[in-house]
Chain A
Amino acid sequence: MLLINCPWCGPRDETEFHYGSEAHIGYPEKPEELTDKQWAEYIFYRNNPKGWFAERWVHNVGCRRWFNIWRNTVNHEFGPSYKPFTKQPSRPK
C-alpha cells in the first residue's frame, strides 16, 4: 500500500485516495473546433512513461480534494505533490 502525500492533509494510506490519471490534461477551450483526432486524443490518449510521471489523485475519503503529484512508475517513489493551478515543481532526479 502506497503512502501518498496529500498537499492538504499530509501523508495518508493509498486506500483513502482515487487515481486520476495523467495531470495537466485540460478540457479543450473550444471542443467544437477540434478535429475528431484531436478530440479523441483529449479523451483517450495518455502518456505512460517509464520513470517520473506527473499524475492526479483525489483524497476522496479524506478532504475530497484533487491534487497533482510526481510518481516514479518504476519503483513507486513519490516526488512532490502540489495543488491544482499552482506551479508544477520540477521533475525529481
Chain B
Amino acid sequence: MSTVQFTFDGVTYHGNKGEPLSAALLRNGIKVVTESSYRYRPRGVIGLGYEEPCALVQIDSGSGEPMVPATRIELVDGLVVRSLAGVGDLPNQIDKARYDKTFKHVDVLVIGAGLSGLKAAQKAANSGKSVIILDDQFQPGGYVSDLNEKIDSKLINSLKKNNVTHLQRTTAIGLYDQNYVVAIERRTDHLSSEILPEMSRMRTWHIRAKEIILATGAFQRVLVFPNNDRPGIMLSHAAATYLHKYRVGTFKTGVVVTVDDFGYQDAIRIHKSGVKVQAIVDIRKKVTGKLLDQVRKLGIEVILGATIVDSTADQSGSLNSVLVAETNLNGQITGTRREIKTDLLAVSGGWTPTVHLATYLNLKPIWDKKVAAFVMPKLPKNIKATGFANGEFDKVTNPPALFFGIIPEGEDAKVSFIDLQRDANVRDLRRAVGAGLTSVEHIKRYTTIGTAHDQGKTSGTTTMGLLGQLIKKEPHEVGTLTFRPPYIGVPFSALAGRDLGILSDPIRTTPIHSSHLLAKAPMEDVGQWKRPWYFPIEKENMHDSVLRECKAAREDVAVMDASTLGKIDIQGPDAGIFLDRIYTNMFSSLKVGSSRYGLMCGVDGMVFDDGVTTRIAEDRFLMTTTTGGAAKVLDWLEEWLQTEWPELNVYCTSVTEHWSTVAIVGPKSRNLLAKLAPNLDVSNEAFPFMENRYAEVAGIPARIARISFSGELAYEINIEAWYGLHIWQEVMKKGREFNIAAYGTETMHVLRAEKGFVIVGQETDGTQTPQDLGMDWIVSKKKDFIGKRSFSRTDTAREGRHQLVGLLPLDNKTLLPEGSYIVNEGDSKNEGKLSHIGYVTSSYSSSALSRTFALAMIADGRNRIGKFVEVPIGNSVARVKIVDSVFFDKENTRRDG
C-alpha cells in the first residue's frame, strides 16, 4: 500500500492509496468533518458506504462533484476536497471528462458482489448462463471483506474463467419493468485525481436480464437518544471496520451500544484493533452464547437491559462521555444514570436489508419481527434475493430486540436526531404526530425525514419504529417509505453520456443554410429545423427588416428558402382515392401537372394539417405539409393505410430532404423567372395559377409551381436538394436588377396574415373545424373523408363557436400581444368579472396597410364584424374593431401579376 497526499479544507494530509477518504480523515485525527445543515452541530463520519448521512464533501479536483459521502471516495494522490454543510456547489467550469453508455442483454444479473452475490454468480455461470455481477464497493467481498477476511480466490477466478462480466465501483441506480436495470460505473476517479482524456470517467450500463439476483446487503441503523450525533458516535460495523481493517487508530477507548449480537462481534473487532472497549450496553435483558463468553474473557463489561440515554462533548464537540441507564423496550428510562468516559460510541441499532431496488417496482417491503426489520417484498418470479438483502443474518444466536431508541420530551427531544442528514429530531416527529399525522408517508413530508441525499438509509426504519411507539402501533402498521430511483446521487453528465451540446438534439438545416449564415440572418427554431427569421441589412432591427422585406414582396420581388416544408411522395394506383379520404376536398379529380391546396382533419373534425399537393403523374402525388407537421402527417397516412384500408395500393415516402425549394414572390417574380429560365413561357396564359412546369432554371432541371402563400404572383422552384445553394445564389444575382430582397419566416407570416391565410398551429390548436376558420369552401359535400361525420355533431354544428376574424386596433400603432384575451367593450373595467370572448392568434405591423393588425378567434366572430371589443394589455386597454380576416387584396387581383 502506498502513501498519497490529499487536501482537506486547504490542509495537506497523507493517507493510504485506495482506502476510503473517511478512513484517511479519521487516521489524521479529523473527527469533526463538517457542520450539520440546519442546526450547525459538529458532525463526523457515521458509516462506511452510501448510507453515510454526515461526512459529505465537495470534490474540487478533476471534474469536481458536489455532495459526495467521504466514505465512497477512494483516496488518490492529489485529491482536493472540502467539507460542506449539507449544500454543495455545482462546479462552475465545464466538465471536460468523457462519459459513455452501453447496453447489454444477459441471462443473470447479480447486484452485489458480497459473498452471497459471488456465490450466486458462480452458480449461474457454472450452469452455462451469461452473467453480469456488479457491486458498488471498491473491492468485492462486501461484509466479509469489511471483516478483513479473504474471499476464496477460486471463487473470483471461476467467474473470470466463465467470462462473467464483473464490475466493481458500479452502482445499480434503478430497477424497472421487465428486469431492466440502469447502473453507473465509476471508471477513473480511483486511478487519478485528474481528468483522464483517454478513458470515460463514468459509464452508464443499461442491462436487461432474464433473471436478477439481489445481493445488495443491508444497512446498520442508528439509535435515538439525546446528543446521539456527536463526532465519535458511529455505526458499530463502520467503527470496527475503520479500526480493525483500515487501522485508523483515532480513538482511545470505546463503548458499544447494541440491540443485537452484531454489537458483540464489532466490540471484539474494536478491542482487537487496540482500542479498549469498556462496556457493551445491550437493551436485551437476557443474552447467552459464545459471543458473550468471548467478550467477557476480553474483560469487556456487559450491561444488560440498558441503553445510552445521553452523551457529553469535549471542546471540539466530539464525544467525551456517554450516560448509561437501565431502560425498557418502550424507551422508558427506569434506572439511574452512570457516566462512562469514552471518545468512541459504536452503535449497533439493528440491520435493515437493502430492499430499495425491489421497491422501485412498486412492491412493499414486509415487516419481519424475527429480524426486527423490513425485508424483501414478495418478488416476481424472475427476481430473487440472497444473503443479508434477504434477511439471512445467519450468525445470530440471540434474536435482536425491537428497539429504536428513547423518545425524550422537551429540550432533550431537540437534540435527539432521527435523520442526521436532514437534522430532523424527535421534536419534529412529536410535532408531526401532534398535528394528527399517523402515516409515515405524511410524516416524511412534514419532517423531511428520509428525503436527503442518503434517502433515510440509516433512519427510515428507525422513524417507523419510533412513530409506531408514539402512536402504539407496530412499525409496519404506520406504512412503509417509498424509495425512488436513483439509488445514489448521479451526475447529469453520466446520464447524458455523449449526447451533449450540438449532439443533444438533431439540428436540421437546408442546403441553403450556409448562405443564410453569411447573410447574418437570425434563426428561428421550427421543430428541429433552423429557419432564417429575417434578413437584416446592416444595423436594422427586426421590425424595420420585416417592413422592408414585406415591401419588396408586395412591390418588387422577394425570395424565401421554403425547403423545410414537409414533402411526401405518394404513389400507387389508388393514390387519388386515398387522398380523397384524407383531405376534406377532392384530389382524385386533380389534373396531372396541377396543384391544389388541401386541408386534413382528425376523426373529431378538427384541422390537423394543410398544404399544397401536386399530381406528378396519374398514380403519383407530391404532398407538402407544414414544416413542423411532416413526421406526424406521414405517420397519419401510414396508420390509415395499414390499419383501415389495406386494400388500397398506395405507398408513402418522406422526401422532405430530397428537394430544395426556393420561392420567388412579388409582381416582378415573372420577369425574374423569365431571366432564370429563358426557355420557359412564363406568360399567365401559358403558365396559369396552380400549375406546374418543368424547365431548366439557371441550368438545372426544375419543377416550377405557380403557387402563392402571400397573395402575390409567385413561383416555387423545386430542384434536387444539392443544387439549392446554386439556385439561391443565381436568384439573388439575377434578382438584383428587380431590387430583390431575401425574407424569412416573420415576413412570410405577415404576408399570409394580411391575406387571412391561417397557419396550422398558430391560428389552430386542435379545436378548430374548417368552418371555424371560415374555410367551408374546402369541405366537400360529395364524398366521405376523415372527420366529416364530426361536422354535424351538436357541439361542432352549434352557433357561437370561436371563429376566425381580423382585428384592427383603433390606435394604428398598437401591436396586440399574441395570445391576449379579448373582452366585450367596457368589460375591462369590471374587475374580476371579465367576459372572455376570444383570443389573439397572430399580430403584426404591416407595411402594405401602414398600420398594425391581428387575427383572432372570437366567439360568434363573423356576426360581430364591425363591432368593437377590448384587449387588456398589462395595465392598459386597447380598443379594437372586429373586421373580416382578409386585410389585403380581397379580390385576389394580384395573384396573376
Contacts and interface: CB of A to CB of B under 8 A. Distances in A.
A43 B790 CA distance: 9
B638 interface: yes
Given A18-B635, A31-B788, A32-B784, A3 B643 contact: no
Contact of B646 (A42, A56, A77, A84): A84
Interface in A33-50: 34, 36, 39-40, 42-44
A39 to B, nearest CB: 5
A64 B604 contact: no
B792 to A, nearest CB: 8
B639 interface: yes
Nearest to B789: A31
Contact of B793 (A3, A32, A36, A78): A36
Interface in B642-656: 642-644, 646
Contact of A1 (B180, B643, B788, B789): B180
A58 B789 contact: no
A39 B789 contact: yes
B176 to A, nearest CB: 7
Contact of A43 (B176, B208, B603, B788): B603
A76 B178 contact: yes
Interface string A70-84: 000001111000001
B793 A76 contact: no
B293 interface: no
Contacts of B635: 18, 58, 60
Contact of A31 (B208, B646, B784, B794): B784
Nearest to B793: A36
Contacts of A58: 635, 638-639
Contacts of A18: 635
Contacts of A64: 638
A69 to B, nearest CB: 13
Interface string B598-638: 00000110000000000000000000000000000001001
Interface residues of B, number: 23
Given A58-B635, A65-B642, A39 B176 contact: no
Given A3-B180, A76-B178, A85-B646, A66 B639 contact: yes
Nearest to B797: A36
Contacts of A40: 793
Nearest to B603: A43
B177 interface: yes
Contacts, number: 54
A62 interface: no
A78 B180 CA distance: 14
Given A34-B789, A39-B789, A26 B644 contact: yes
B178 A2 contact: yes
Interface residues of A, number: 29
B646 A39 contact: no
A32 B789 contact: yes
Given A1-B180, A39-B790, A20 B639 contact: yes
Contacts of A85: 646
A76 B177 contact: yes
A29 B793 CA distance: 18
Contacts of A27: 603, 644
A26 B789 CA distance: 15
A25 to B, nearest CB: 10
A3 B644 contact: no
A85 B105 CA distance: 32
A3 B784 contact: no
Contacts of A20: 639
B646 A3 contact: no
Interface in B357-412: 380
A82 to B, nearest CB: 13
A66 B638 CA distance: 9
A2 B639 CA distance: 22
Nearest to B176: A1
B178 to A, nearest CB: 5
A39 B795 CA distance: 13
Given A2-B178, A36-B793, A84 B642 contact: yes
Nearest to B206: A1
B642 A3 contact: no
Nearest to B786: A27
Nearest to B635: A60
A17 to B, nearest CB: 12
Contacts of B792: 36
A2 B180 CA distance: 8
A6 to B, nearest CB: 13
A36 B794 contact: yes
18 contacts: A1-B180, A2-B177, A27-B644, A31-B789, A32-B784, A32-B788, A32-B789, A34-B789, A39-B789, A43-B790, A58-B635, A58-B638, A66-B639, A66-B642, A66-B643, A75-B380, A84-B642, A84-B646
Top 8 A-B pairs, shortest CB-CB distance: A31-B789, A76-B177, A66-B642, A27-B644, A66-B643, A43-B603, A3-B178, A43-B604
Interface of A: 1-3, 18, 20, 26-28, 31-32, 34, 36, 39-40, 42-44, 56, 58, 60, 64-66, 75-78, 84-85
Given A3-B178, A43-B603, A58-B635, 8 more contacts: A39-B789, A44-B604, A56-B643, A66-B638, A66-B642, A75-B380, A84-B642, A84-B643
